[in-house]
Amino acid sequence: MRIHYLNSLRLLATLSVIFLHTSAGLLDARNIGNIDNQFWLSCYKYCMQFGVPIFVMISGALFLNPTKEVGFSLFLRKYVKRIALALLVFGLPMCIVETYFSNTGGN
């Protein structure tokens, strides 16, 4: 069963998180001398933070659906396994790259 408004919210939240990471990267990686530019980039960054709680609310709406029976063993086998795999495939390499290229790591 597809819930179309959740798909729309998921798309909106995904775009928000992408824009959030982009603006955070711009603020962190560059020395912005102009206070106006820094102010507007900060406003942009904080306006995009609504996407993270939307993901939590979407997860709650899907997991707390009374018509769907999700037991603890199914939750561990299916969902925790997917999260752990995503963290290993995407999170670990990104952590290694950030540590290597940061000022504290790779020396």
pLDDT digits (tens, 9 = 90+) for 2-19: 778 999 999 999 999 998
Closest alpha carbon to 98 in 24, 19, 15 = 24
Flag whether pLDDT at 106 surpasses 70.
no
Flag whether pLDDT at 85 surpasses 60.
yes
* 80 and 63 within one domain: no
* 14 contacts 58 by C-beta, under 8 angstroms: no
* 73 and 56 within one domain: no
* pLDDT for the residue 79: 83
* 61 and 20 within one domain: yes
Total domain count for the chain? 2
The verdict on pTM exceeding 0.85 is no
Distances from the Cα of 95 to the Cα of 21, 57, 102, angstroms: 15, 27, 10
Question: What residue numbers bound the domain in which 10 lies?
Answer: 1-68
Flag whether pLDDT at 54 surpasses 90.
yes
Which token pair is 45?
């960054």
* 88 and 45 within one domain: no
Mean pLDDT of the region 78-104: 86
* 4 and 56 within one domain: yes
* 32 and 15 within one domain: yes
* pLDDT for the residue 9: 92
* pLDDT for the residue 76: 84
Flag whether pLDDT at 37 surpasses 90.
no
For the ranges 17-26, 45-54, 96-105, the maximum mean pLDDT occurs at: 45-54
Write down the residue that tokens 């960054």 correspond to. 45
* 28 and 47 within one domain: yes
* 2 and 26 within one domain: yes
